Amino acid sequence: MENTSNKKKNTEINIYSIGYKNVLPSELSRIVDDLDATLIDIRYAPTSFSPFWKKDFLQGLYNDKYLHIKDLGNINFNNNNDIKILDLERGIDNVLNGNFKNVIFMCACEDLNECHRKIIKEYLMKKYSIEMVEIDNDFLSENF
């Protein structure tokens, strides 16, 4: 993979975050469309018991508006160990070096504060002064 760490970063990007346990697939589709966003799957393993949240289904539904970035996944997602993101810097570099205007980071977790999305949010703010906006019930009631 190309080394992208020295390229100019797109800090004009709008980054949102959502846990899909908070929404129905049809609601997420509407959010992606309304925000004209790319859905970035940040699960380490993009699978689910529900077929609607499996990588193949999401790729078929969103086409080029779906991207899985394993580097942003929590390698300890299926055990009780502390959150450990595979390669946070490389994963964020891939996003900030991409041609994105609006992205939604998606995983399963309902609560941002108990999720690896919180680590990503803090990293984006600290390193790039980018605020990641959580799509929660308050956001939905104010914007949709």
Integer Cα distance of 99 and 13 in angstroms: 9
Pick the CATH number of 14-143 from 3.40.50, 1.10.3470, 3.30.450, 3.40.1010: 3.40.1010
pLDDT by 10s per residue, the chain, length 144: 445 555 677 778 999 999 999 788 999 999 999 999 999 999 999 999 999 999 999 999 999 999 999 999 999 999 989 999 999 999 999 999 999 999 999 999 999 999 999 999 999 999 999 999 999 888 888 887
Cβ proximity of 83 and 76 under 8 Å: yes
- Could you tell me the strand order of the sheet in which 132-134 lies? 66-68, 38-41, 102-107, 14-19, 132-134
pLDDT value of residue 1? 46
pLDDT value of residue 144? 77
pLDDT value of residue 141? 86
pTM of the shown model? 0.92
Q: Phi/psi zone of residue 63: left (φ > 0), alpha (ψ -120 to 50 degrees), beta? A: left
